[in-house]
Amino acid sequence: MTDTKSLRRHTGRLSLGLAIVAVPLLLALLGPLFAGDPGPRAVSFTLGGGHWLGTDFVGRDVWGQVLLGGRTVVLTALAATALAYLVALPVGLVSALTHLRRLEDVLMRPLDVLLAVPSLLLILLVASVFSPGAAGLALLVALVNVPDAARIVRAAAGEVAARPAVEALRMQGETWWRIAVGHVGRSILRTLAADAGIRLTGVLYLVSTAAFLGVGVAPDASDWAVMVDRNRTGLFVQPWAVVVPALLIVALTTGTNLLFDAVLEKKGRRP
């Protein structure tokens, strides 16, 4: 009976996470295919007139902007998260498995310095010198996430590397690649999956905040975060231009967390 209730609770959480995250994901990935012709601009901040969510601050159809505005947020966040792990994984694994303290210092101490600088501040400082596009924003967000991700990989891998099984593999003459990836890497997958859910949420926050502040996107771009920024002055006149994109960003982050939690909970109950 307890197992049945637990299974129902897990299924409910998984279904809820999927339902919440599906809406912004589908709009982000498929929305541009259905956006169609934007048509003539109407009077700013209007409701009705053929625009069922009204128009934004320059008279563009809000629904059309919602359909177009999610792809940059989602793809930039996914790219930044993948790039962060692409660097953090080898750095963390090498640092955890090396017996050379000097090599570990060379790899980790610069990341510790970078970790001391607030992420958003670093992004704004770099953006004040350069003008990054969406790709540049993804690189910046990945850069500020590498130190923390590398420390987590190192901590998790270091615990596994200290086990007798790893020493036995070394004595058997196994290659470093087989030990690091085949054994240690596989052993820390659950930890990495838990971190990935939280990190993706943080990356979404950074990408949205940076876009809100005008970093990585044009001031009039079709982007959910830009929509919130540019239309906030007319919040009480035309709330949908702010509320809808803001809710989609919240749904994306909340749904992602629920989904990862449900998947990890299921894996944790396996014998």
- Residue 33 pLDDT class (50, 70, 90 cuts): confident
- Does residue 40 or residue 224 have the better pLDDT? 224
Cα→Cα distances 62→43, 44, 250, Å = 13, 11, 18
- Is pTM beyond 0.75 here? yes
Amino acid at 36: G
28 contacts 71 by C-beta, under 8 angstroms: yes
Q: Which residues are within 8 A (CB) of 119 and not within 5 positions of it... i.e. 6 or more apart?
A: 141, 144, 145, 206
- Residue 270 pLDDT class (50, 70, 90 cuts): very low
- Does residue 105 or residue 253 have the better pLDDT? 253
Domains, the chain, with CATH or none: 2-268 (1.10.3720.10)
Longest CA–CA separation in the chain, Å: 76
For 170-215, what is each residue's pLDDT tens digit?
A: 787 777 778 877 788 888 888 888 888 888 888 888 888 888 887 8
